[in-house]
Amino acid sequence: MSTSRAEAAVVRATYRDACREAIREALQRDERVFVMGEDVGRYGGCFAVTKGLLQEFGPERIRDTPLSESAFVGAGVGAALGGMRPIVEIMTVNFSLLALDQIVNNAATILHMSGGQLNVPLVIRMTTGAGRQLAAQHSHSLEGWYAHVPGLKVLTPATLEDARGMLWTALEDPDPVLIFEHGALYNMEGELAADAGPVDIDRAAVRRPGADLSLVTYGGSLWKCLEAAEHLAADGIDAEVVDLRTLRPLDDETILGSVARTHRAVVVDEGWRSGGISAEVAARVAEGAFWDLDAPVARVCSAEVPIPYAQHLEEAALPQVPGIVEAARRVVAGG
């Protein structure tokens, strides 16, 4: 909470708090909005994002569901078709695979298959990412898979402002939106404007301007890239950091504009290297900014293994600041 008049417009909050306030605001603003998922009510959410909302809004709007992703995501699709604005919570991205039919074959395709007659204004929130010793079935970064699918929007809020503001904009979208919240960010604390509200969900953001190379990333890796940029600055390398924010649709203009300024790029993605979002970004840079490049595009991704449980192995499998710094130095050196 703020402590002086000068600070009256700013509050201290965690990423978790920002997510919760976004949900609370949506419930207050639109009576069609309701939340459902495993343990979102009495337990307060598996990551405590919905804690207290059942007491505030009641069981009609904060609905605990059976442990069946296919059932409650399917119910969310039906509710959206019926005119409601459901927020469906899936515990982790790994478990979303149990609802692939509902997400990919139904939510993403109904508008097309109905000849434009039926929209599915559904928002699905889920936790993604590793770094918390939750082992392979709770730790993968599969958002790049969903970014492959036409008919979906894929959001990856990395800042408090985006965690607070993306949800309402997503709820106003007539089509399905997936929001991937990196689990390692929930305890991140910072300052947030007391009147923080909806934000754009179509544009990437330059989080740190620079002149020597572009570090392109999203989600939990944003903060590693910002730290890497500080290390590089000590070596006289001025790194620009681009936060993709939205993986589908990708903001080509911001990505290519950054590369046109810096002439070098490193893409950092906690997903696997093979067939991942990093490959898509690198391909678009090669297609759209080839003549601006002074060195090949480099990528820093997770190791091609299931995420290990042991802490030292998990850390070794994930992109880390030293690896990002090393890749950037190689690119600046010319290869």
The answer to whether the beta carbons of residues 41 and 64 sit under 8 Å apart is yes
The residue annotated as part of the active site, out of 21, 25, 38, 69, is 69
Tell me the pTM: 0.95
Closest CA to 76 of 181, 183, 171: 171
Q: What is the pLDDT of residues 73-97, one digit of tens each?
A: 999 999 999 999 999 999 999 999 9
Closest CA to 134 of 183, 167, 190: 183
pLDDT(41) > 50: yes
Provide the residue ranges of all domains of the chain, joining segments of one domain with +.
9-193, 205-333
69 a catalytic residue: yes
pLDDT(170) > 90: yes
The answer to whether the beta carbons of residues 327 and 300 sit under 8 Å apart is yes
The answer to whether the beta carbons of residues 149 and 108 sit under 8 Å apart is yes
State the amino acid at position 204 in one-letter form.
A
138 a catalytic residue: yes
Closest CA to 47 of 185, 141, 159: 185
3-state SS assignment for residue 318: coil
The more confidently predicted of residues 2 and 215 is: 215
d(CA 190, CA 250): 27
Please enumerate in sequence order all residues whose Cβ is within 8 A of that of 82, keeping only pairs 6 or more positions apart, or say none: none
Please tell me the CATH code under which domain 9-193 is placed.
Answer: 3.40.50.970
Which pLDDT score is estimated for 335? 56
Q: Which two tokens stand for residue 3?
A: 């402590």
Rounded to 10 degrees, the C-alpha dihedral 297/301/305/309 comes to: 170
pLDDT(4) > 50: no
The residue annotated as part of the active site, out of 21, 38, 89, 138, is 138
Percentage of the chain exceeding pLDDT 90: 94
Q: Give Rg (Cα) of the chain.
A: 20
What average pLDDT score do residues 280-285 get?
A: 98
Domains 9-193 and 205-333 share a fold: yes
As its CATH architecture, domain 205-333 has 3-Layer(aba) Sandwich (3.40)
Backbone phi, psi, residue 181, to 5°: -105, 120
